[in-house]
Amino acid sequence: MVARRNFMRTIAVALAGSMLSSMAGAAPMPQAPGKDRPNIVVILVDDMGFSDFSSYGGEIPTPNIDALADNGLRFTQFYNNARCSPTRAALLTGLNPHQAGMGYLSGKVEPESRGTFGRLHERSVTIAQLLRGSGYMTAMTGKWHLGNRPGTTAATRGFDRSLSAVAGGIYFPDQTFGTRGGRRFLLRDGERIELNDPSLGKDWYGTDLWTDEGIRYIDEAREEKKPFFLYLAHVAPHFPLMAPQADIERFVGNYREGWTKLRAARFKRQQEMGLIGPNTGLGEVPEAADDWDALSEADKTRFDRMMAVYAATISRVDQSVGRLTAHLKATGQFDNTLILIMSDNGGNAESGPRGRTGAAPWGGPSSDTWAGMNWAVLQNTPFRSFKHFTHEGGIATPLIAHWPAGIAANLRGRLERTPAHVIDIMPTLLELTGTRYPETFAGHAILPYEGTTLAPLLRGNPAKRDKPIFWAHEGNNAVRDGQWKAVKRLGYSWQLFDMSADRTERNDLAKEQPARLAAMSSTWDQWAERTYVDPWTDEPRRTDWGAPIGGGAQAEDRPRRPRRRRRN
């Protein structure tokens, strides 16, 4: 079976290389010398706030991730796309989500839409497809969420090896919540396997499973003497929050101080680290948030336990990073492996202030634990708002870049303050690996990537961004142009913030600078038209497979929405 698998992979790589080199007008792909081409690991966590790693101010111990931050670059203004599928699409394609076909969630289709197909569109190509054609062994583990139908999975989007969940929420083989729809099974190299499949072992925990499988794929690449690209997309800390009970118990009692005091403590550490300016204030808290001091002791115990479950999922991710880096060191690959760690959106407030718990023990395979809005305010310290929204709490993410062979010693441990976005990952990896971006792929015209390479930052040089950064999700829109950010929530007017002085978006300058705001909102309109952003008025109702999965009502108040208007 292994021999046949390797043979089929060799054929697939050969075909991909042939396809790339036969493109009309395509020059041969430039490649860096084999010994200099880095291995690449991209680690994506799910629904994690800006401040949850201890290297970003959190109280959750993350020593293995912190070690990478201390010896790499720690970005202070890196952005995602406020939601899982749109971020993943931009990460893998270098396009804005609607351009890549993922204007909303995986499997959600809007008829007549230009950008909401529920899958990656043929006008996009993934970094895995390009790196495979450039001689890399490509692998993916964890949450896919970029297509559910045959032909839309990781196995058909450039990954030689994959063990994936088509959606999130899978932590244990015997869990009873969150296994509806696409969560009942996994896909190994595109083929369905059940959660209790013997090949997965017994009593696995999802974070460990994705990591251990990724390590196996790394070893396969080493046997084949190829550089590798591993996309490790954790489910944690997405709802329903689950972790081994021993990990949860380590954190029980740590959150009895409540979210207000813990947020202030995180904020103080962030300022001491230099992540946030000394004159910056904390972002606003929704009126619906609870006053910790007014809670009953029973409620405090409940909330403490809920956040302990969340903290345990983060801790377990850190442990898995430690196991991965230890393996890279043991096999002599650590120094020439670029590791990137980020989150797909900000902390999740979808379950409202009270969160959810479900069956006891909370955090176990039969529970339904969501941390809720109160704790999401803490997770997103110091920012306002949450997942779904384009204020900083919804889109600001840690980005840690570690690469001993590629980041100069005098830069290690540096705070990188350049604003950057997940669409920048594609051009960065292309430059570092000497891989060309095509005009066509597999017979389809490919849109030019939208991002800017961040490779100069790894050498201590400035990155040259020639256009603003844009967002559009569920009618929540934003544009960042240098120090200025214009942001608009669905049903509300545009706001304007000077991010150099007001990163937490406390002082709206819309009335003071109407001309600047009008110009920026007009620029957003032009971008939206160019990148297939449909006017948003309602959630897509059609799915391209079975029952809808995931999601949930947005936590913040918002107007009732009429049906989507069609563009003529």
Amino acid at residue number 556: E
Strands (DSSP E) found in 218-264? 228-233
- 421 tagged catalytic: no
- Bridging pattern class, strands 367-370 and 137-143: unpaired
Cβ atoms 283, 383 nearer than 8 A: yes
Q: Among candidates 41, 56, 279, 66, which has minimal Cα distance to 138? A: 41
Amino acid at residue number 291: D
Active-site entry in 98, 121, 145, 234: 145
- 98 tagged catalytic: no
Half-sphere exposure of 464 (CA within 13 A, CB side): 0
Active-site entry in 84, 121, 238, 473: 84
Amino acid at residue number 496: L
Q: Among candidates 502, 555, 496, which has minimal Cα distance to 523? A: 496
188 forms beta bridges with 163, 191
Q: Which two tokens mark 248?
A: 């949860």
Q: Which two tokens mark 290?
A: 């609870």
What HEC string does 99-161 produce? CCCECCCCCEECCCCCCECCCCCCCCCCHHHHHHHCCCEEEEEEECCCCCCCCCCHHHCCCCE
Buried b (16+ CB within 10 A) or exposed e, 545-568: beebbbeeebbbebeeeeebeeee
Q: Which two tokens mark 118?
A: 């529920």
Cβ atoms 172, 367 nearer than 8 A: no
Which sequence positions are flagged as catalytic?
A: 84, 145
